[in-house]
Amino acid sequence: MQPRPAQPLVAIEGLSVTFHAAGGPVYAVQGLCLELKQGRTLAILGESGSGKSVTLRALLGLLPRDQARVDGSIRVAGHDVTRLGGRALNRYRGKVASMVFQDPGTALDPVYKVGRQIAECIVNHEGASWSVALRRAVALLDRVKVPSAAVRANAYPHELSGGLRQRVMIALALACNPVLLLADEPTTALDPTVQIQIVHLLRELQQDLGMSVIFVTHDIGVAVEVADEIAIMYAGRIVESASTPVIALRPAHPYTIALLAARAASAVRGQRLNAIAGSPPALTERSACCSFAPRCSRAAAICGTQSPQRAHVAEGHFAECFFPEVPESALRREAMT
């Protein structure tokens, strides 16, 4: 199903995910809103426990229903993902959306040759014959630049290096031509010279195939390399979203500003880093105020008593903050209207 251009490919509204753990509920995602147009790459940037991977799993309907309560709506290319089940969910996975995981070593089946694993996906989803599917598997491996693809298709996952295994994962995710590719820290386990190869491969595939990509990472450098837009997650919420240059150069949320300022990359040797004091909150309580307030240098009384609403900072730039850093031009425009 091809969405009309005006309609976003991905629209998440008021998504909340609550896990029922032994020690009580964990509010992993709290009222998340997100939109992504077709053919765009979004990076979700956040620290561990911010809810970025849980959001990605919710997008693929991967959260176990007996352990996780999912509220809100997730629409991807006309599918209401939270209502999908059984065969409809199986059809959705692979053909509409598919996922590249962080650790291809555990995501691939160790007892099957990689070509067969890709072909199996094609046989199951499209009813193709095995010989056709195997040929397409080799073509896919070639597409993701696995050298001598026909030979490597007959390799088991353990016979391949980390970089090649990640390419196999990507080929597997592309097997049924999805419109949305979800990537969960796909380069985190890789060495720097290999990481940049995979980042470039994903960027190239996204452009050639016209897919949308949601790329989850904790590394702002990688996010800037790969994404058109960046959404910053903190304690289960998207606290800021904007185009990549705006997030990198003119962030508005105090958390984003602090995160950029804390980077060793931008620091001079001998100078102290502007570390953010404290640590992210435990998500065992639903937040009734700004979750970042205890660590925030701008926090005022209101931040500890009310939840900030999504504030419009500039065109396509949102921040959930009572006191965002507003560029002067935006202030001026506001004064005029």
Helix (H, G, I), strand (E, B) or coil at 115: helix
Site residues for another protein per CB under 8 A: 47-48, 147, 161-164, 191-197, 199-200, 218-222, 224-225, 244-245, 248-249, 258-260, 262-267, 269, 272-277, 279-280
- The nearer residue to another protein, 264 or 336, going by C-beta atoms, is 264
- The nearer residue to another protein, 12 or 199, going by C-beta atoms, is 199
- The nearer residue to another protein, 2 or 193, going by C-beta atoms, is 193
- Minimum CB separation of residue 197 from another protein in Å reads 4
Q: List beta partners, residue 70.
A: 17
- The nearer residue to another protein, 155 or 196, going by C-beta atoms, is 196
- Minimum CB separation of residue 245 from another protein in Å reads 4
Alpha helices in the chain (DSSP H): 52-59, 86-95, 104-107, 114-126, 130-143, 149-152, 162-174, 192-209, 220-226, 244-249, 254-261, 328-336
- Minimum CB separation of residue 45 from another protein in Å reads 10
- The nearer residue to another protein, 1 or 249, going by C-beta atoms, is 249
> Are residues 313 and 241 in contact, defined by beta-carbon separation less than 8 angstroms?
no
- Minimum CB separation of residue 244 from another protein in Å reads 5
In order of 103, 171, 228, 274, 326, the CA distances from 267 in angstroms are 31, 39, 26, 9, 24
Question: Could you give the CA distance from residue 227 to residue 241 in angstroms, rounded to a whole number?
Answer: 12
Question: Could you give the CA distance from residue 236 to residue 106 in angstroms, rounded to a whole number?
Answer: 26
- Minimum CB separation of residue 69 from another protein in Å reads 26
- Minimum CB separation of residue 304 from another protein in Å reads 20
Angle at CA of residue 225, ends 224 and 229, nearest 5°: 45
* Residue among 288, 317, 314, 315 at smallest CA distance from 303: 288
Question: Could you give the CA distance from residue 337 to residue 331 in angstroms, rounded to a whole number?
Answer: 10
- The nearer residue to another protein, 127 or 192, going by C-beta atoms, is 192
